[in-house]
Chain A
Amino acid sequence: MFRCDPPVSPGGSAGPPRPRCRGSGERAAMGRRRLRQLVDSLRRSAEHFDKREVECLIRLFDALVAESGSRPAAGGLGRSMFRDALHSAFGMTDDMIMDRVFHTFDRDNDSCISVVEWVEGLSVFLRGTLEERIKYCFEVYDLNGDGYISREEMFQMLKNSLLKQPSEEDPDEGIKDLVDIALKKMDYDHDGKLSFMDFEKAVRDEMLLLEAFGPCLPDIKSSMAFEQKTFQDTRRL
């Protein structure tokens, strides 16, 4: 289900708190004991998966990395590989949003998703609680990471959302109006931008606003299909 990925430029050097990205070959040598340790630690940090599911996801990760054909030193999943994965498994199309999803997964900001980031990210992505998902979506939409979704950021995310431009003068006018509509709905403290508080309140009031600025979570059908395929296929292996 995942397409091949062109070679990725080698990622930055390791961020200290997390295990470094490693190639699959290297991990194969790592031995059973370390794998068990990894699974155990992930069982605690990615609490929505059980042990078997974590193992399945690790295997899938390995398969993806192997498939990408990247050199061992490249380590983990690169941006475009990850984007392709999102596209083919969950039908995501918006490049900007997919970039943002990559960023949210890539906690250490090394432009490469490690196995731990992969499993922990998917835990929220597939099975996150409402709270986790609100946090996740907010991070996706907060393009510059300043803790607010600004008017400009909204405009960026919504600029392609009008399929046929209304015959009005400025095509941007429609988008600007839409941003106003969204702000009117969600900006509770009237400061012209959405804080996390604003966003959380709006979503708790109306669940549909969780993905207000673009689809960044899987829909029920594709997530069910993904889980079925990943957790059942690998069991057979």
Chain B
Amino acid sequence: MGAALARAAQWTAAGSGNGTLEITPLNESLLNQIIKFAEDFNTRHPQEAVFLFREPLEWKTQLDCSVFGKATVQSEAKDKDGQPLLLLTASTLRVRSFDQLSHLLQIAVEKKLKEARACLEANRDPIVKILGSEYGTVEGEDMSMLHLLDKVKKDDDPETEMKMKIFLLLYQLDLQLLNSSLKEISQDIRLSPAAISNEVNLLKNFSGKGGDTVLESLEYTSDYIFSNGCRAPPWRQVHGEICYLVIKPHDTDPLYVTCSTAGVFLNGGKDDIHYERKSDVYKDIVTFLRERSPRFVETMARQVCRFEDVSGSSSETEEDEEQPVRHQEGNTDLPSEYWGIQKLAKYLKGGDPTATVIALCSMRDFNLAQETCQMAIRDIGCLEVLINLLDTEEIRCQIGSLKILKEISQNTLIRHAIADLGGLEIMVKILDSPDKDLKCLAAETIANVARFQQARRTVRQHGGIKRLVGLLGYISVGSTSLTPYQAKDTEIARCGALALWSCSKSTKNKEAIRKAGGIPLLARWLKCSHANILTPVVGTLQECASEPSYRLAIRTEGMIENLVKNLSSEHEELQMHCASAIFKCAEDKETRDLVRQHGGLQPLSVLLGNSENKQLLAAVTGAIWKCAISGENVSKFQEYKAVEALVGLLTDQPEEVLVNIVGALGECCQEPINRTIIRKCGGIPPLVKLLTGTDQALLVNVTKAVGACATEPENMMIIDHLDGVRLLWSLLKNPNPDVQANAAWAICPCIENAKDAGEMVRSFVGGLELIVNLLKSKNKEVLTSVCAAITNIAKDEENLAVLTDHGVIPLLSKLANTNNDKLRRHLAEAISHCCMWGSNRVAFGETKAIAPLVRYLKSKDPSVHRATAQALYQLSEDPNNCITMHENGVVKLLLAMVGSTDETLQEAAAGCIANIRRLALATEKAKYG
């Protein structure tokens, strides 16, 4: 109970002395549990109940003598000195046993909560009073139990045993309290000013005069908002209060409400705010109002769909089609189509099925692809009728209506209108119909309508995904020639796949398709040879390949083979989706290998020849880029002359294509020969030119590709000639850390291979200061790449001097405490090269770089060892550094490395040890010599 009271209970911060327990739901529940414990104590543990407390629990009570039915109150029970076990003098109450405490609480009835609170406020650690100070609650490891056990073992004192029992009981209570408070806290939704503001705004949208509003009004009491978002005055913010509201429901008096971090409750309101709580605390305003206003509950039920749409819209973030543009209204000259369609609409509304079907068929003679007709159908009110027809039993009317809806739902506005009129729900239901034509039409229309997020959600929420996946279950895959019956099944599956394709643009639907068992069915249809069904199937798969679960399934269910096969289809759209699926899946090494093993690299290379279809080209180059991450694939691409083709495509392409081409070239540069090929095909100038672009994704790839090319001295001449290094250097100023890092990496080979690198670097005004300042970046990759660049720059003494002037030493030292091995290695190299100037060695020692460096020797990465040993060797030229190293146990670590097979490491380790030893000898000599 001690720990629970000290930690879980919420005390006001009223100084260190007598804090008070706040009236919060958590505290209330804690108190109730303690009361229950104390109340039941004398019945559950009669022996322990008579145990005499070491000191009485003493507090100011609000009970008066009348409760006890006597004038002076003292218990009949007395201790051996004749002191009563319960004594009430003035308003001070003293209690000395659980027995008395139980009785007292039973007498207090409804005041027991207040009494318990007062008691605990006055006795912050009641266990000390009850059992003695040796049992006090200690933060951290609690040894009291062990002491007690020892004591019980040592002497047979019954009182010690009793204490032990009570202590255990209290300990149990403590655990129980902590557990339940944890539960309470985890339920506790901490409200924030933003959450409340959202809720208030939302409710305001549904408030006003009018019958269908949920509230008459809802207003803040104050317009002033503090910078933390609260409206409550600062002295109330201390109590977690955020703002106050006056809410006027339709059916009750105005409610004065406090919103605090703990929840929403009624305050003492009216003219001024009376801050005290007058009701339970609710988790939000809606929940609060549900308890207060029946009218609110009723109107909310009606609004709830709209409400959820509004509040839920932020949860799904996937891309959506553009918002519908309002059709221009108020056009006085109605086109003739209006009259024609209106005439037919009459028969839809007032005709029997026969007349309706004639009218529906006739309506299809209008050009339904034309916006005028689409809008006429909507504006005449015909859309409602068409949707109502779906809800009949008349299959022919349903078919006729869907044939029209399928056409006109090409229009965004119509799509939204169909969804608003509840059309999707009915169409989802129709998917269960035994009539195959009807099923197909419903699925196709769903495919059209579900192009926006809310529609996709509606389909999912009404069980549409499962049914659509079910349509894929009509399976007759394998044969190339179909019987009419099989043809129908293929058609059903095709329509199902079309709808799933539209739906799969929402993340939750991807999940729903997977859960409905869609993946194996898609995999089966992927084996068939009909482009008209393959296109939506692969379309769905490539859409879903954004999810890791699908990528795994595509790999493990053998789908790569079929995707590769269809790269050679004669339908460009299908080819595009296959390439796009490979693009997304080939992030994974095993998939890249599978693409190669199934012979996919050749068709991809061949498709580079089709450069007119830009969407196809983007997907194909993307697939090549990702596949080229594997070295084996690069060799294949080289064989298929893909590098030449890629270079040829470097000009006049849309950016999404360029990003992929340049990414692919960057990966192909793994092979030295490809760097030469790029040069020979004239690829360097267009690449360097792309360094002036602005597209971030493109810059990330271009910097990498240029850097890779620069590793060849002959390429470097061209880059230098085109002033490519200056362009790279200026990209260090780009806000995107990926661009910064890749630019810095690219600068490294440039400096290594440029003819007069030192002079070149000096020619960039402000360039060295810029790069030194990047050591303040928070991005690990930026830091690593900049260290690598500094290593190269520092090879020129003059530039190193400038770097030093710009404060490179303390910045490098500051980075030393890192666990990232890649950064460690490049940092150690940078430090080692920066030692070559002035008193930099001393400076590194002074800025405390030595000790962390010594620890690098314990890393698992051998390249870190080598770089670190070299740095330590350089640093050991300074006697003070040697002392620090020695103190940090460097000798033992280095001795192990002297035995390494890596000669550079060996030499550096040996050199460093030698320096330390020489110093030691010199000191001894000075001392004794």
Q: What is A's interface to B at a CB cutoff of 8 Å? A: 158, 160-166, 174, 177-178, 181-182, 184-185, 206-209, 211-215, 219-221, 224
Contacts and interface: CB of A to CB of B under 8 A. Distances in A.
Contact of B357 (A163, A165, A212): A212
A182 B358 contact: yes
5 contacts: A160-B352, A161-B352, A174-B347, A178-B359, A209-B361
Contacts of B358: 178, 181-182, 185, 209, 212
B434 A215 contact: no
A215 B353 contact: yes
Interface in B351-366: 351-355, 357-362, 364-365
A163 B351 contact: yes
A34 B352 CA distance: 47
Contacts of A162: 347, 350-352, 355
A185 B362 contact: yes
B352 A184 contact: no
A174 B400 CA distance: 21
Nearest to A181: B362
A219 B354 contact: no
Interface of B: 343-344, 346-347, 350-355, 357-362, 364-365, 395-396, 399-400, 434-435, 437
A32 to B, nearest CB: 37
A166 B353 contact: no
A168 to B, nearest CB: 9
B351 A219 contact: no
Nearest to B403: A208
Contact of B352 (A163, A174, A177, A208): A163
A220 B351 contact: no
The 5 nearest A-B residue pairs measured at CB = A161-B355, A161-B352, A164-B350, A181-B362, A161-B354
A27 B132 CA distance: 113
A158 B354 CA distance: 8
Contact of B347 (A178, A212, A221): A178
Nearest to B365: A185
A163 B353 contact: no
B361 A185 contact: yes
Given A181-B344, A219-B395, A220-B434, A211 B354 contact: yes
A158 B357 CA distance: 12
Contact of B396 (A174, A185, A208, A221): A208
B401 to A, nearest CB: 10
A161 B364 contact: no
Contact of A212 (B346, B354, B365, B435): B354
Contact of B395 (A181, A185, A220, A224): A220
A206 B350 contact: no
B446 to A, nearest CB: 21
Nearest to A161: B355
Contacts of B396: 208, 211
B346 A166 contact: yes
A208 B359 CA distance: 11
A163 B493 CA distance: 38
B398 to A, nearest CB: 10
A184 B399 contact: no
Contacts of A160: 352
B296 to A, nearest CB: 41
A166 B342 CA distance: 13
Contacts of B357: 208-209, 211-212
Nearest to A202: B361
Given A182-B358, A185-B362, A209-B361, A163 B434 contact: no
Contacts of B343: 177, 181
A95 to B, nearest CB: 15
A224 B346 CA distance: 34
Q: Which of B344, B351, B395 has the most CB of A within 10 A?
A: B351
Given A182-B358, A185-B358, A206 B351 contact: no
Contacts of A164: 350
A26 to B, nearest CB: 41
A181 B342 CA distance: 13
A27 to B, nearest CB: 37
B352 A181 contact: no
A81 B434 CA distance: 31
Given A181-B359, A207-B437, 16 more contacts: A158-B354, A160-B352, A161-B352, A162-B351, A162-B352, A162-B355, A166-B346, A181-B343, A208-B360, A208-B400, A209-B357, A211-B357, A212-B354, A213-B354, A214-B354, A224-B434
B362 A221 contact: no
Nearest to A210: B396
A212 B355 CA distance: 8
